[in-house]
Structure 1
Amino acid sequence: MSDSPRERRSTRAATAAYIAAVAALAVALGIWSGLRYGLPDPAALLVFLLFAVLQVLLPDAVVEGRVRASLSGVILVASQAIVGPAGVAVVGAVLGGIQYKKAPLRNRVFNTAQFSLHGAAGGIVFLLAGGTTDPGSLRDVGAIVVGLAVPLLLADLAQAVTNLLAVVGVMRVAEGVPMRPQALAVARGTGLAHIGYTAIALIMVVLWKPADLGPAAAVIALAPLVVAQWAYRQHAEELEGQRRALEVLVAALEAKVPHLSGHSARVAELSAHMAEHLGLGPQQVADTRVAGMLHDLGQTSLPTRAARNIDLTVGDGRLEYPERGAAMLDDLQFLHGALDPIRHHRVAVATRDDETLLARIVGMADAYDVLTQVGAPGGRVEAPTRAREILLANGADPVLARALDHALARRVDAGARS
């Protein structure tokens, strides 16, 4: 059974209350920072606000759902030493509001608040760690390390932790997914990136104040990051071209079996996020995504009535369409890594063989989406918690179940940011 209207209303109310609490905390921390540590220099604040507005022209580079090069991350860290906690709170609010300006109002409020909140938190930690908002007074390497580099790194870590807690908290309230595995997964995926942001921000601040270049320092420090963004976007465009080609195949399937509309895309997304959570390499993640997208393609080779009457909620390994789908794609070299997962996804779910891991991932994502979104022909769907219980009762690997929790949490996070 699906969640009742009352449960959905209760979840929406709890989510709205959580977002309101985050927003109130962000406003309170920003005001307190101004009273405690003073207001920022208006001219410097204006420069950083202009950098924030540039996010409209140079948004974060995102490849396969993950930020690969972030101007906003560098801007927030560098502003700690230039405009202080109150200034960072304002810059963060503008960054969050601009980046997600097309999102629904509730999502914009949350993102504006959490950017402001983790910006101010980082600014406070920067000062508590011995950082100075007058880096021009630092004249030797030792002073720069103690009064700037180390505090910036600690401030960036504080920002990351505050942001992490806010995001996994809304995941928990909105979707009910466990917080700990999501927090660990996000931390593993972004830790090195934050160190990179700190390094670029340090260069920017040193050039700005001790080297006395002023705002021109931002152009020098951020130029390599802009180039990296361009390269990542080129890669993203190539992947998008391949994705559109695969969608043509999926469209043929959905035209023949209308009740599977959207199923392939959802399975592809869940499969890729599960693979990332399990620590698989980029190529394996890509193969898993493609296999999730095309796992039902073989149904196009069946008579229309037969395809529409298949009960996918039943774990019947005798169905022939997975093998047919793999055979249809056998001549496409760039899809070879996805063929085994397509061929074996229905029979591999209850196994523990590492050699079938990709098939097990796709099979788990497929089974979950069938239970919660597709259902049996003419039948009802299950609530997410009940679907998870069914999968485990049928022999699914608990490790994959936790990876599925992570993937579902990623979906909630993406929804909050879109």
Structure 2
Amino acid sequence: MRDLPVPARLYLILVVAVGAGLVVFSSLRLSREEWLAVLPLAALVILAKWFASDLRAHVNISVGMPIAIASVILLGAEGATLVMAAVVFAPAAARFSTRLFNAAMFAITATVSGLVYEHLGTTLLGPPASLTVWQVVVPSLVAAAVLEVTNGLLLVAMIALSEHVSPLRVWYGTLAESALPMFIYSIFGLMLAVVWSYAGPISALLVLAPLMVARWVFAEFAARQEAYEATMRSLIKSVETKDLYTRGHSERVSRASVLIGRRAGMREDRVASLRYAGMLHDVGKLGVPTTVLQKAGRLTEEEYEAIQQHTVRGREITKDLEFLGEAIEGIHLHHERIDGRGYPLGLKGAEIPEFARIIAVADAFDSMTTTRSYRGARSIEDAVVELRNCKGSQFDPVMVEALVEAVDAEGWDVADTLPAVPPVPIDALPSFASDDDDPTAAGQLGLPSAAPDDASELVDDASVGGPGEDAS
């Protein structure tokens, strides 16, 4: 706990205090019959923590969730609060403070969800009378949704305070994928509650077997996602080793692309693919000679053409990675321009795939707001001005405004950019200063005479002034 920032520590103390109060209050109000149901359900929750499936960092889906939903349906708010607080005794979490926070968070979640269920439906402890769908199924699904949202909000707040990141970024980045597992687990929770109301604790055996199959499916999905991530990390590391000034660039372009995609109303499955495209947009540099990437001085026509080929090489490298899907065209075509003066195909306007139009904006924004060897980082405000100046010529106006709105709403962490430094004289630049993402580098170091009159066809952004002006 000592390694947490002060706001996160205060938040943890608040959540634990509220959760503890709810546990004490609930324990004083249960009947003997309710305690006889709480104890075996609590034991199942503790056991279920051994079988949690990680979806993302900080987030896992446990087979305890159906038990939580069943306890809400069977016992209402007070009984469910005690059942879920039992997670404090689960040995899966390494630190006691983590278990304490989780227990308190689940207690609060169970209380809120249970109160919603009690208001809408009827608890099922004991053989139920004749009940309609509206008295059980609908309240159960609503309570499950409330449980997920409440749990998500409490968890997002802790992660955001602990890691100084945008709550919206945490919500979309770590919790959106839990919606489908939670819905399926809600159905299992309802099944468990109904069977339990007739058969008692033995019913758990009838429901938990198919539940474990579902858990295995989600675990396989999580393992496959991790394999995809490992593949991307390996490719990105190779690119960054070869082209030193792209270090961290891929992650930032990916994040900016996701901001644009969500602001533009893109479906979440496409946003996930867009994230891959942003991460791997420069992977084709693996096919560009290192001597060209690291050259200081004027590029020959052959070297200029080799740089341009990185988009084609990127498509060749990624075309067999089926999980990338739509991302492959984004990787291939992110240097196209709205006015048709881009490469590799010279596409124009709506001919350019949406992913490529998004990455072009994100790529330019990151290039402008990070420090390079020959100039300091531009401010976000200056970068926005340059992007807007290039709307309709190089960049899709819709995507530019989507990025501006997203950055205004969620911010762009200054800590993610390198501190600005005074420009370095050309003759003092290291050998790896040739930066094909930045028009200042291209303009200063020189393109062959056959190249376009500004560096914008080579890089991600357009010159909007005289020589040396950049919109990277």
Tell me which amino acid in the other structure corresponds to 2:40: V
The answer on whether the counterparts of 2:284 and 2:315 sit within 8 Å (CA) in structure 1 is no
Deviations 1:245-303 (A, max 9, x none): 44433232222234544543565466568657743364x44542332232222334556
Task: Report the counterpart of residue 224 of structure 1 in structure 2.
Answer: 210
Counterpart secondary structure, 1:166: helix
* In structure 2, C-alpha distance between the alignment counterparts of 1:345 and 1:97, rounded to whole Å: 51
Task: Report the counterpart of residue 264 of structure 1 in structure 2.
Answer: 250
Quote how far apart the aligned CAs of 1:41 are.
4.2
Structure 2 residue runs of 5 or longer lacking an equivalent are 297-303, 340-347, 389-398, 414-472
Higher helix share: 1
Tell me which amino acid in the other structure corresponds to 1:79: S
The answer on whether the counterparts of 1:38 and 1:86 sit within 8 Å (CA) in structure 2 is no
The change in CA–CA distance for 1:105 and 1:67 in structure 2 (over 3 A counts) is: closer
Task: Report the counterpart of residue 393 of structure 2 in structure 1.
Answer: none
Matched, 1:31 2:24: yes
* In structure 2, C-alpha distance between the alignment counterparts of 1:164 and 1:128, rounded to whole Å: 22
The change in CA–CA distance for 1:252 and 1:223 in structure 2 (over 3 A counts) is: same
Task: Report the counterpart of residue 470 of structure 2 in structure 1.
Answer: none
Task: Report the counterpart of residue 151 of structure 2 in structure 1.
Answer: 163
The change in CA–CA distance for 1:252 and 1:65 in structure 2 (over 3 A counts) is: same
Give the RMSD, CA atoms, in angstroms.
Answer: 4.7
Quote how far apart the aligned CAs of 1:203 are.
1.3
Larger radius of gyration: 2
* In structure 2, C-alpha distance between the alignment counterparts of 1:46 and 1:270, rounded to whole Å: 48
Task: Report the counterpart of residue 345 of structure 1 in structure 2.
Answer: 334
* In structure 1, C-alpha distance between the alignment counterparts of 2:197 and 2:117, rounded to whole Å: 17
How do residues 194-343 of structure 1 correspond to structure 2 at under 5 angstroms?
A: 194-210=182-198, 212=199, 214-258=200-244, 260-265=246-251, 267-268=253-254, 271=257, 275=261, 278-280=265-267, 282=269, 284-285=270-271, 287-302=273-288, 304=290, 307=293, 321=307, 323-330=309-316, 333-335=319-321, 337-343=326-332
Matched, 1:118 2:109: yes
Task: Report the counterpart of residue 40 of structure 2 in structure 1.
Answer: 47
The change in CA–CA distance for 1:161 and 1:238 in structure 2 (over 3 A counts) is: closer
Quote how far apart the aligned CAs of 1:77 are.
0.8
The answer on whether the counterparts of 2:282 and 2:314 sit within 8 Å (CA) in structure 1 is no
How do residues 366-405 of structure 1 correspond to structure 2 at under 5 angstroms?
A: 366=363, 375-377=371-373, 387=380, 390-391=383-384, 394-395=387-388, 397-401=400-404
* In structure 2, C-alpha distance between the alignment counterparts of 1:274 and 1:55, rounded to whole Å: 38
Counterpart secondary structure, 1:136: coil
Tell me which amino acid in the other structure corresponds to 2:320: F
How do residues 145-156 of structure 1 correspond to structure 2 at under 5 angstroms?
A: 146=135, 148-156=136-144
The answer on whether the counterparts of 2:121 and 2:134 sit within 8 Å (CA) in structure 1 is no
Structure 1 residue runs of 5 or longer lacking an equivalent are 1-10, 311-317, 410-418
Task: Report the counterpart of residue 413 of structure 1 in structure 2.
Answer: none
Counterpart secondary structure, 2:316: coil
Matched, 1:139 2:129: yes
* In structure 1, C-alpha distance between the alignment counterparts of 2:40 and 2:150, rounded to whole Å: 25
The answer on whether the counterparts of 1:322 and 1:344 sit within 8 Å (CA) in structure 2 is no
* In structure 2, C-alpha distance between the alignment counterparts of 1:319 and 1:392, rounded to whole Å: 30
The change in CA–CA distance for 1:347 and 1:331 in structure 2 (over 3 A counts) is: closer
The change in CA–CA distance for 1:242 and 1:16 in structure 2 (over 3 A counts) is: closer
Tell me which amino acid in the other structure corresponds to 1:279: M
Task: Report the counterpart of residue 437 of structure 2 in structure 1.
Answer: none
* In structure 1, C-alpha distance between the alignment counterparts of 2:410 and 2:338, rounded to whole Å: 18
Deviations 1:322-381 (A, max 9, x none): 641432542653347434322443666999959532124434554566667x63238766
Matched, 1:101 2:96: no
Task: Report the counterpart of residue 21 of structure 1 in structure 2.
Answer: 14
Deviations 1:95-122 (A, max 9, x none): 48859725x7776654443222112222
The change in CA–CA distance for 1:58 and 1:128 in structure 2 (over 3 A counts) is: same
Counterpart secondary structure, 1:253: helix
Residue of structure 2 aligned with 1:356, choices 344, 353, 356: 353
Percent identity between the two aligned chains:
24
The change in CA–CA distance for 1:129 and 1:406 in structure 2 (over 3 A counts) is: same
The answer on whether the counterparts of 2:258 and 2:271 sit within 8 Å (CA) in structure 1 is yes
Tell me which amino acid in the other structure corresponds to 1:89: T
Counterpart secondary structure, 1:390: helix
**TM-score normalised by the chain length of structure 2:** 0.62
The change in CA–CA distance for 1:101 and 1:393 in structure 2 (over 3 A counts) is: farther
Deviations 1:61-120 (A, max 9, x none): 63x789897523312111123454344334434448859725x77766544432221122
Task: Report the counterpart of residue 89 of structure 1 in structure 2.
Answer: 81
Quote how far apart the aligned CAs of 1:50 are.
3.0
The answer on whether the counterparts of 2:285 and 2:314 sit within 8 Å (CA) in structure 1 is no
* In structure 1, C-alpha distance between the alignment counterparts of 2:88 and 2:357, rounded to whole Å: 37
Q: Which has the higher contact order (CA 8 A, sep 6+)?
A: 1
* In structure 2, C-alpha distance between the alignment counterparts of 1:247 and 1:128, rounded to whole Å: 48
* In structure 2, C-alpha distance between the alignment counterparts of 1:40 and 1:309, rounded to whole Å: 78
The answer on whether the counterparts of 2:117 and 2:139 sit within 8 Å (CA) in structure 1 is yes
Aligned length: 379
* In structure 1, C-alpha distance between the alignment counterparts of 2:359 and 2:266, rounded to whole Å: 15
